[in-house]
């Protein structure tokens, strides 16, 4: 009915506005109150998976997203969110010093992100995440050299079509850092900052750049401009610090 449709529209708007303010618990609580048909939609289940992961309920997030993939088949967005679950798990295991478990999750994250990109070549988000994690492997994954130009082409085509968003410019920035291309990074950074909508977006990019920098520090190759970009992004999500 029209009323149900209108209510669905309002509920989705509310869900996405909670996401914009990083109100992850509110997102989960809202999905519990939705009508069964709305709760079963791909969008709601993806956002539930994302919110559960941000709340560190990783097993539950993985179950929600894996069930969705089993039911609906591969979707690049779903695979991208699931890839993030494995990426977070990898970082947690690494922090705990569980090297073997960490390596397993890193492989899983790379495979999941890569599947996401291969499901829809136009969606560069899972592509750049796969590339960044390939860079973090020891030694780095050789496939990254073949995949990087394909991901860059996908983003450039999307930007050329008009209406690029933050992720498009942030992806070009991350690709420039992976390619150690300072000129391209300097071009992409202001465009990314100008199109920033939600503070957590800058946080996600800064975190990826930090991971790349830390991996490269271990190999002894880090230009100073890398940290400068990271700091600029960090200031965007943490706000001005009081003295």
Report pLDDT digits (tens) over 131-188: 999 999 989 999 999 999 999 999 999 999 988 999 999 999 999 999 999 999 999 9
Q: Count other C-beta atoms under 10 Å from residue 184's C-beta.
A: 16
Instruction: Tell me if 130 sits within 8 A of 147, measured CB to CB.
Output: yes
d(CA 118, CA 120): 5
* Banded pLDDT at 196 (limits 50, 70, 90): very high
Q: Is 156 exposed, middle or buried (0-12, 13-18, 19+ CB in 10 A)?
A: middle
Identify the pLDDT of residue 243: 32
d(CA 105, CA 93): 8
Q: What angle do CA 113, 12, 47 make, to 5 degrees?
A: 25
Average pLDDT, the chain: 93
- Tell me the domains of the chain and their CATH numbers: 1-73 (1.25.40)
For residue 82, CA distances in Å to 187, 200, 228 come to: 31, 18, 30
Question: Does residue 65 have a pLDDT over 60?
Answer: yes
Instruction: Tell me if 84 sits within 8 A of 53, measured CB to CB.
Output: yes
Report pLDDT digits (tens) over 96-124: 999 999 999 999 999 999 999 999 998 99
Question: Does residue 240 have a pLDDT over 80?
Answer: no
Instruction: Tell me if 177 sits within 8 A of 226, measured CB to CB.
Output: yes
d(CA 29, CA 48): 10
- Nearest Cα neighbor of 114 from 157, 144, 73 is 144
State residue 172 phi and psi, 5-degree precision. Answer: -60, -40
Please tell me the pTM assigned to this model: 0.89
- Nearest Cα neighbor of 112 from 142, 139, 90 is 90
Mean pLDDT lowest for which of 5-14, 74-83, 111-120?
A: 5-14
d(CA 133, CA 110): 6
């Amino acid at each position: 009915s029209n009323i149900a449709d209108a209510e669905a529209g309002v509920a989705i708007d509310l869900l996405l506005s909670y996401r914009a303010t990083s109100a992850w618990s509110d997102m989960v609580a809202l999905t519990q109150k939705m009508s069964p048909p709305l709760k079963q939609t791909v969008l709601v289940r993806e956002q539930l998976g994302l919110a559960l992961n941000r709340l560190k309920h990783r097993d539950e997030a993985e179950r929600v997203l894996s069930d969705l993939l089993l039911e609906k088949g591969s979707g690049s967005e779903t695979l991208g969110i699931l890839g993030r679950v494995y990426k977070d798990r990898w970082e947690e295991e690494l922090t705990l010093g569980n090297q073997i478990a960490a390596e397993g999750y890193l492989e899983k994250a790379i495979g999941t992100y890569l599947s996401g990109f291969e499901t829809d070549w136009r969606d560069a988000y899972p592509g750049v995440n796969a590339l960044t994690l390939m860079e973090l492997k020891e030694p780095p994954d050789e496939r990254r050299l073949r995949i990087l130009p394909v991901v860059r082409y996908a983003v450039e085509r999307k930007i050329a079509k008009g209406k690029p968003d933050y992720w498009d410019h942030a992806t070009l920035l991350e690709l420039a850092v992976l390619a150690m291309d300072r000129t391209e990074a300097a071009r992409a950074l202001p465009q990314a900052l100008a199109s920033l909508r939600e503070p957590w977006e800058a946080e996600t990019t800064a975190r990826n750049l930090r991971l790349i920098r830390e991996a490269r520090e271990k190999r002894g190759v880090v230009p100073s401009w890398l940290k400068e970009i990271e700091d600029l992004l960090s200031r965007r999500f943490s706000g001005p610090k009081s003295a």
